[in-house]
Structure 1
Amino acid sequence: MGMLRVMSRRGDDRITWDAQKVETHDPEAMAAIHEAERIFMDERKKGATAFKVEPGKTVERIDKFDRTAEQIVLVPRVVGG
């Protein structure tokens, strides 16, 4: 399973997809991955930073959506005032 987590004031919103079903072009899995990609691009345009998180590995900053990632975390731009 893959997961996109978008941090916000409310906590985090999550979109999940089954990577194996994406490979077989399952309609539900494809819709979920397309939604995750759309959200990723929208949040990056707003200045969010994206990180790929995988167990046993160092967290990696990414600039492009990775549909093979186990978990992607989007952190919105912090605005001071």
Structure 2
Amino acid sequence: MGILRVMSRRGDDRLTWDEQKAQTGDPEATAAIHEAERIFAQERAKGATAFKVVPGQPIQRIEQFDATAEQIVMVPRVVGG
């Protein structure tokens, strides 16, 4: 299972997908991955930074959506003022 977490003022919004089911052609799993890709691209266009989180390993900054990731965390651009 993969999870996309998008940080916001409300906390974090989460979207999950099952990459293994998507590989077998499950339409719901495929749709969830497409939605996660869409949200990822939308947030990146707004300036968000994305990180791939793997337990026991250093957090890795990513530029493109990775459907095989266990967890992706998106942090919005910080605006000062």
TM class, shorter-length: over 0.9
User: Given the two structures, how large is their TM-score scaled by the length of structure 2?
Assistant: 0.98
* Ranges in structure 1 where 5+ consecutive residues have no aligned partner: none
Offset of 1:50 from its aligned partner?
A: 0.1
1:1-81 correspondence runs (5 A): 1-81=1-81
Per-residue CA shift, 1:19-78, capped at 9, x if unaligned? 110111200001100000000000000000000001111100000000000000000000
Partners of 1:17 and 1:25 lie apart in 2 by 13
> CA RMSD, aligned part only?
0.5
Aligned residues: 81
Q: Name the SS of the counterpart of 2:40 in structure 1.
A: helix
Runs of 4+ in 1 over 6 A off after TM superposition: none
Aligned-residue sequence identity (percent) comes to 77
User: Given the two structures, how large is their TM-score scaled by the length of structure 1?
Assistant: 0.98
* Ranges in structure 2 where 5+ consecutive residues have no aligned partner: none
